[in-house]
Chains A and B, each alone.
Chain A
Amino acid sequence: MSRNADNWLLRVTNLTKIYGEPNKNTVSLTGPEFNSNICPETDSIVACADISFDLYPGEVLGIVGESGSGKSTVVKLLYFDMEKTGGAAWLKPYADGSIDMLSESNQKKRFIRNNLMGMVYQNPRDGLNFNFTSGGNIAEKLIMAGNYHVGEIRGRASDLLNKTEVPVLRMDDRPANFSGGMQQRVQISKAIANNPPLLFLDEVTTGLDVSVQAKVLDLIRELQQDLGIAMIVVSHDLSVIRMLTDRTIVMKNGRIVESGLTDQILQDPQHEYSQLLVSSLL
C-alpha cells in the first residue's frame, strides 16, 4: 500500500492558543528565539502557535518538550478540553475529514470525543469519575456512545479490565481504592472502550513509581501492537518517547522546533534545543 498525501487520520494546521489580548505582533515576538511565551507588548501568553502536523492511521506520534512548551495544550485543544484561538483540525472518520472539528458545536464535539477519541490524563482524577466504580466508569463511556445493553456493557468492561490486567473482581470497586498504577490502567480501559481510532496519552506515567511506570508503558505498547490505534503521546521523558513512538515533535515555548522519525530525533537531532534535550538524558 503506498501512502499518498490524503492518507492522514488527523490533520492539524496552525493550531494556536493565546491567553489574554494579543495584537498583531504577539506571535512574532514570542517563541524559542525569544525564550519566552509572553508577548512583551500585550502581556498575553502564547501557549502554542502555528502547530501543524499529520498523523497517519496506526502511527504513534510523540510530543516532547519541557514545562511551558505547549505540548499538553496541543492535546487539550484537540480533545476539546479548551477552545482554540486559531487553526484547525480534521479527523478522517469525522465527515471524511472535510470539517474542522475545532469549530463544531458542543454537541458534535461530544459525539467526536465519545466515539472517535480516547484520552488518558496524567492525573486519573481528570479522566475517571471517582464516584463511580471502575466498571461504571467504562460503562459511562459506552453509554455516552449509545450502548445501552447492560449485559453487553458489563461484558465489554470485563474484557477491557482483563486486557489492562485489572482484576475483574475489582470491577465494582471505586478507583479511590486502587493504587496509582491501577487507576491509570482503568483510565486506559475507559479510553479504548469504544475502539477509537485515535488515543491521546498526556504524561500518563509521570509521577508513578518506576516499576509501575514500566507496567503501564508495556500495556500501552501491547495495546498499540494488538489494536493498531493511532496515538499521540505527550511526555517530557525521552525514554518513554523512545519506547512508544514512530515519530516525534519537539516543542519549545509553544512552537515546534523540530519534527522527524523518533530514532532520527534521538540520534541525529538538528535543532540546538533538540540536541540539548537529547544530551540531557541521565
Chain B
Amino acid sequence: MNILEVNNLSKDFNLHILNDKWIEALKNINFTMKEGEIIGLTGKSGSGKSSLMKCLYRTYLASSGEIIYLSKNGPVDLVKADDHRIIDLRKSEITYCSQFLSVIPRVSAVDVVCEHLFRVEKDKDFARSQAKEMLEQLGLPYELWDAFPVTFSGGEQQRINVARSIIAKPRFLLIDEPTASLDAKTKDVVVDMILQLKANGTSVLCISHDEYTLERLCDRRIDLKFGEIISEELATNQ
C-alpha cells in the first residue's frame, strides 16, 4: 500500500514585504512512497529538499497539487486538510525532525525527549525512563540529562532532536539530516534506531548529504535540483 502519493506539488513564495518578490521552491513534484519504505531525499543545498518536507508537514502551504497520506483512519489530502486534522495527525502519526533542534527554553534534555511519548502514554515516569534509555544509547553524558539543551554542542543537540522524534514511534517520520554533526559511532546508533523503526512499520523520508547514512538506510533515493525531481533510483544494495 502507498502511504504517500504526491501529485503535481508546487510551492512558490510571494514575499509581499520585498515588493512581491516571487520565489519558486518546488515545481511539479510527483512521487509515491510505500508503507515501511525509507526514501532518501538528496540534492544540493537550496534544491528544495527541506521545502518539500515542510510542505508534507504543512509548515509550508503548498501552492498547488495534492499530498495523499494514508492515515490510520483513511486517506487524507494534507494540502487541503483543516488545521485540526493536521494537529491530530501530528500528535498521533506524523513526526517531523528538523535539521536543528528548536530549543524550548528551560526544559531539560530528558523532558524534551519524553514530551511526545508522555502526550501519548500519559505516564510521566515511564516516558522519562524511556527517554533516559535513548539518551544513554546515543551516548549523551549522564550529567547533561537534566541540563537545558540550549547550551549543548551541535552534535549533542542533534542527538536530542533525533531521540525526541523517534521515541513515540510515529507511523510516518520526516527527518532532516539526522546524522550531520555526529561522529561515526553515533551515526551508526542513529541509523540502527531508524532501521528499528522501519522494522516496526514506520515509513521514513530522510534528507541527507551523508553517503554512509543514505547507503545504510534507504530503499530508494529521490534527487532534487532547482525544485524538481531529476532522478529516482532504487538503492544499489537492494
Structural contact, B105 and A214, CB atoms closer than 8 A: yes
Give every chain B residue within 8 A of A260 (Cβ-Cβ). Answer: 61, 83
What's the interface size class on A, roughly?
20 to 34
- Asked if A270 CB lies within 8 Å of chain B CBs, one says yes
- Asked if B118 CB lies within 8 Å of chain A CBs, one says yes
Most interface-central of B61, B83, B105, B118 (chain A CB within 10 A): B83
Structural contact, B59 and A264, CB atoms closer than 8 A: yes
Structural contact, B87 and A261, CB atoms closer than 8 A: yes
Structural contact, B83 and A3, CB atoms closer than 8 A: no
**A1 to B14, alpha carbons, bound, how many Å?**
36
- Asked if B84 CB lies within 8 Å of chain A CBs, one says yes
> Which residues from 79 to 119 on chain B have a C-beta closer than 8 Å to any C-beta of chain A?
83-88, 104-107, 115, 118-119
Main secondary structure of the interface of A (DSSP, over half): mixed
Give every chain A residue within 8 A of B17 (Cβ-Cβ). Answer: 272, 275-276, 279
> Which residues from 215 to 230 on chain A have a C-beta closer than 8 Å to any C-beta of chain B?
218, 221, 225
Give chain A nearest CB distance to B228 CB in angstroms. Answer: 20
User: What total count of A-B pairs have CB within 8 Å?
Assistant: 58
What is the 8 Å Cβ interface bit string for chain A, positions 224-257, against chain B (1 contact, 0 not)?
0100000000000000000100110000000000
Q: Choose from A59, A221, A225, A272 the contact partner of B84 (Cβ within 8 Å).
A: A59
Give chain B nearest CB distance to A137 CB in angstroms. Answer: 27
- Asked if A56 CB lies within 8 Å of chain B CBs, one says yes
Give chain B nearest CB distance to A226 CB in angstroms. Answer: 9
Q: Choose from B59, B104, B106 the contact partner of A267 (Cβ within 8 Å).
A: B59
**A109 to B14, alpha carbons, bound, how many Å?**
45
Give every chain A residue within 8 A of B61 (Cβ-Cβ). Answer: 260, 264, 268, 270
- Asked if A100 CB lies within 8 Å of chain B CBs, one says no
Structural contact, A275 and B15, CB atoms closer than 8 A: yes
- Asked if B58 CB lies within 8 Å of chain A CBs, one says yes
Give every chain B residue within 8 A of A271 (Cβ-Cβ). Answer: 16
**A166 to B86, alpha carbons, bound, how many Å?**
37
Give every chain B residue within 8 A of A268 (Cβ-Cβ). Answer: 13, 54, 59-61
Give chain A nearest CB distance to B190 CB in angstroms. Answer: 24
Structural contact, B104 and A261, CB atoms closer than 8 A: no
**A144 to B106, alpha carbons, bound, how many Å?**
36
Given A2-B73, A214-B106, A225-B118, residue A264 in contact with residue B87 (CB < 8 A): no
**A178 to B73, alpha carbons, bound, how many Å?**
51
Closest to A268 in B: B60
Give every chain B residue within 8 A of A218 (Cβ-Cβ). Answer: 106-107
**A272 to B21, alpha carbons, bound, how many Å?**
12
**A247 to B82, alpha carbons, bound, how many Å?**
11
Structural contact, B59 and A263, CB atoms closer than 8 A: yes
Structural contact, A243 and B87, CB atoms closer than 8 A: no
Instruction: Give 30 A-B contacts (CB < 8 Å), ordered by A residue.
Output: A3-B84, A3-B88, A54-B84, A56-B87, A59-B84, A214-B105, A214-B106, A218-B107, A225-B115, A225-B119, A243-B105, A246-B83, A247-B83, A247-B87, A259-B83, A260-B61, A261-B87, A264-B58, A264-B60, A267-B59, A268-B13, A268-B54, A268-B59, A268-B61, A270-B14, A270-B61, A271-B16, A275-B16, A276-B16, A276-B17
Footprint of A on B, CB under 8 Å?
13-17, 54, 58-61, 73, 83-88, 104-107, 115, 118-119
Q: Assuming A218-B106, A268-B60, what are 5 further A-B pairs, CB within 8 angstroms?
A: A3-B85, A7-B84, A59-B87, A214-B106, A260-B83
